[in-house]
Amino acid sequence: MGDKAHTHPGAAGRAQAAGHPTSVRNVVLVGHSGSGKTTLVEALALTAGAVNRAGRVEDGGTVSDYDDIEHRQQRSVQLSLVPLEWDGIKVNLLDTPGYADFVGELRAGLRAADAALFVVSASDGVDGSTRMVWDECAAVGMPRAIVVTHLEAARADFEEMTRICAEAFGGDDPDAVLPLYLPLRGPEGHEGHAPVHGLIGLLSQKLFDYSGGERKESEPGEEQLPLIEEARGRLIEGIIAESEDETLMDRYLGGEQVDVRTLIEDLERAVARGVFFPVLAAAPATDGARQGLGTVEVLELITRGFPTPLEHGTPSVTTVDGRPRELEPCDPDAPLVAEVVKTSSDPYVGRISLVRVFSGTLRADQTVHVSGHGLADRGHEDHDVDERIGALSTPFGKQQRPVSHVIAGDLACVAKLSRAETGDTLSAKDDPLLMEPWEMPDPLLPLAIQAHSKPDEDKLSQGLARLVAEDPTMRLEQNQDTHQVVLWCLGEAHADVALERLRSRYGVQVDVVPHRVSLRETFGGRAAGRGRHVKQSGGHGQFAICEIEVEPLPNGSGIEFVDKVVGGAVPRQFIPSVEKGVRAQAAKGVAAGHPLVDVRVTLLDGKAHSVDSSDAAFQTAGALALREAASDARIHLLEPVAEVSVLVGDDYVGAVMSDLSGRRGRVLGTEQSAGGRTVVKAEVPEIEIGRYAVDLRSLSHGTARFSRRYARHEPMPPQVAERVKEEARKAA
């Protein structure tokens, strides 16, 4: 690479729908927040002629103009697609948020892409979350390359950053992570920092000078040859080690000079196979320049080294009833299989779905079958409907450029898919198919909300439905115990964006209220109660008396009602009425307003009146009897306990275990995991882990993740229970 002249379509060029899958490259950009992903996308768009020198597209806006919330928050919060064209290849750049709260957008980008560019800041290094994404890509064999940015920073050191990347990403083979170019520095400035103005191609042994605003190629001077020699030797050995020609290494070690073109071809094959990971450098264009440093080299790597969609294959496909279905990979003439990788709303167009076509050809105004998507537990209903799609287009910033069709391997936006949500499969209506869904992170931060006013209450349900349709990492819960509406989010930033979208996009103002966990009550010992409901107010009165005994039962027993009335003291027809009243009161609670569980209520005696007794009277008497029994008994509050599993780097195990113990948790043990990580298992009261998603991220510097599942309810410590009861009394 680096020895070929390139052309671009000029400022008027537009990336249209591809003619064949071999002319498409789908590339996702990965990196922590602030690493320079969006800046790199804009620099590549400028070099490819997709934007002008001011960074504007022809019809207004910039490639990063996508969401008003992003401008307000000063960070990317969603996946965006930027298509451009280079050397006759359509390149779909998928820019992902770097902040951990929006990992769902990152996962969608990984699903839609065939290769990944990991963007690393020379001044910040590699963070733990970026390493985790690298491991995810390695697990599925996705080809990867690394782009080092921020070389203009005073403490930037490309060589040191390359070493750090080899350590972080190389695993057992650090020689699989090597630079293709070295930075070409000018004279030191007044602060002692030599700015980078070009690159030295290690394979081509050419200099590429960007100081004039456009890439100029020249031969190296004598003083630069020693810089090249050692790094070039390591690169050649690294490429040959991954070569499919098993004789090449012996020939090289025997003194044979390997042709540069052979090395480049082996390099391209190794990159496409996901066994060699080149390191490049890039920087945005300076004022008035047409090309940013290293942008030609990055585009060259994408178009020549990264695989075509034909080489990536298709995720597992079944019929809607679960029977496996084999399809030719990425065949434009095969049955249609496409997937919605992102859903957004436009105030003028309505719902817009970003779709990756894996098989067949998608055409404008076509009727498709919508299937999916297995996320009913998160408030996303499963779909099995036919829909007529609207216009097809490719996005560029806020603009949508119409196309007539989209072939297998390409991406485009589909308008007016009113039922389809992120993760759904689009297929032919006469041959409905379903793609295996990609893994979504579990939202573990609860956000309890309520409508701010009556007009907001009328719009809340529809607004929430549209919100979760766009974001499958969000879970909507209508808690039947606490009667709260809860949005489960990935973190505080995710929650902030959800509230902002409800307000600005859907016109719903909500208030955040304290999240309540589902507590229970139970009796701590035997108790007796007498319910007397006697009223005379002219005409038929109300008369019912019943006597009960209450005793605790083992955990999980629920409410058991026993009839031990003798002699007809309570007529048979009213015994179900007593039980109904007891159960109704148990559902309301007897101490702090939480449901009563795990007790046996025995009806022992009572009295009735031949005229004034009724079903309603005995229901009331049953409830009164239970309340009286509770007034003389020890009532325990039961809190939900969760089984928690924390996957954390070995360096943070002690801190995590100490933190869990401080949350009244019981650490059950640890298990070693791959990559120098440990799984810590514990049981923790749910009331103590409401913000654990946020706290764990801070504690582990973003490197840990956890899962939780309900285990059981168990008695709350007396001092905590008294505080909860006191709060309930004040609220009453």
Q: Give 226-229's long-range contacts (Cβ < 8 A, gap of 24+).
A: 227/182, 227/200, 228/182, 228/200, 228/202
pLDDT tens-digit readout, 529-581? 999 999 877 667 899 999 999 999 998 899 999 999 998 999 999 999 999 99
Half-sphere exposure of 392 (CA within 13 A, CB side): 21
β-strands 475-478, 510-513: how paired? unpaired
Residue 643 backbone dihedrals phi, psi, to 5 degrees: -85, 120
Cβ neighbours of residue 730 closer than 8 Å, sequence gap 6 or more:
none
pLDDT tens-digit readout, 119-150? 999 988 888 888 888 988 988 889 999 999 99
Q: Which two tokens stand for residue 605?
A: 């005696």
Residue 160 backbone dihedrals phi, psi, to 5 degrees: -65, -40
- Only one residue has tokens 């000063």, namely 74
Cα distance between residue 668 and residue 329, in whole Å: 46
Amino acid at 414: V
Cα distance between residue 612 and residue 375, in whole Å: 54
Segments in the chain below pLDDT 70:
1-18, 52-75, 187-194, 347, 373-381, 397-398, 538-539, 732
Cα distance between residue 465 and residue 339, in whole Å: 20
Cβ neighbours of residue 338 closer than 8 Å, sequence gap 6 or more:
355, 356, 357, 358, 359, 360, 362, 368, 406, 425, 426, 427
CA distances 492 to 239, 327, 583, 694, Å, are 44, 42, 40, 7
pTM recorded for the entire structure: 0.85
Name the DSSP class of 60: S
pLDDT at residue 379 in the model = 56
Across the strands, what pairs with 89?
86
Residue 101 backbone dihedrals phi, psi, to 5 degrees: -65, -20
Q: Which helix (H) or strand (E) holds 167?
A: helix 158-169
pLDDT at residue 60 in the model = 46
Cα distance between residue 529 and residue 260, in whole Å: 94
- Domains of the chain plus CATH, in order, are 21-312 (3.40.50.300), 317-435 (2.40.30.10), 445-513 (3.30.70.870), 520-633 (3.30.230.10), 637-731 (3.30.70.240)
- Only one residue has tokens 């768009």, namely 45
pLDDT at residue 174 in the model = 86
Give the residue ranges of DSSP H helices in 379-484: 454-470
CA dihedral (432, 435, 441, 442) positive or negative:
positive
| Contact (Cβ atoms closer than 8 angstroms) between residue 37 and residue 369 | no
pLDDT at residue 13 in the model = 37
Integer-rounded Cα Rg, in Å, for the chain is 33
CA 147 to chain centre: 23
